[in-house]
Structure 1
Amino acid sequence: MPIVQVEMLKGRTLEQKRALAQKVTEAIVETANCPKEAVKIIIREMDFENFSQAGVLKCDE
């Protein structure tokens, strides 16, 4: 049973999350040769204040 965790900043629409889940599931089914019912995806969203790149918080950009 593949379990995938996707971490991303908040702001994606429900439609974007649905598309992401569908495409990731298709890729895993194809490469891991497992049924789509076995694929689990966890989407974790972060606030902009909880992500930093190059020492700068995303909310400060």
Structure 2
Amino acid sequence: MPVVTVDWWKGNDRQKRADLVGELTATVARIAGCPADAVTVLVRDIEQDHWGRGGVLADAPAPVSVDRSPVLADVPHQGSAPR
């Protein structure tokens, strides 16, 4: 019946995997209307250097970004006169 595959970063311990499998199994069985023993959950631990997003490997240092959001004091509030 249902098979659920979870890819997540390596480093989660056995208890976290067991908790995940238990919770997913219960939820899928409830929604699918099948017995829990019909649900298979596959948990795959992926090294961060094997996981990319946005063209960058997950283990690469995050680029330093410059915050260009306006300072709240410079933004007129509704009902207040401009400064």
Deviation at 1:45, TM superposition (A): 1.2
- Decide which structure has greater strand share: 1
Count of aligned positions: 61
| Structure 2 unaligned blocks of 5 or more | 62-83
Q: Which has the higher contact order (CA 8 A, sep 6+)?
A: 1
* TM-score, scaled relative to structure 1: 0.91
| Structure 1 unaligned blocks of 5 or more | none
Please give the root-mean-square deviation of Cα atoms over the aligned residues, in Å: 0.9
- Decide which structure has greater helix share: 1
CA radius of gyration, larger in: 2
Q: Give the percent of matched residue pairs that are identical in Structure 1 and Structure 2.
A: 28
* TM-score, scaled relative to structure 2: 0.69
Whole-Å separation in 2 of the counterparts to 1:14 and 1:33: 28
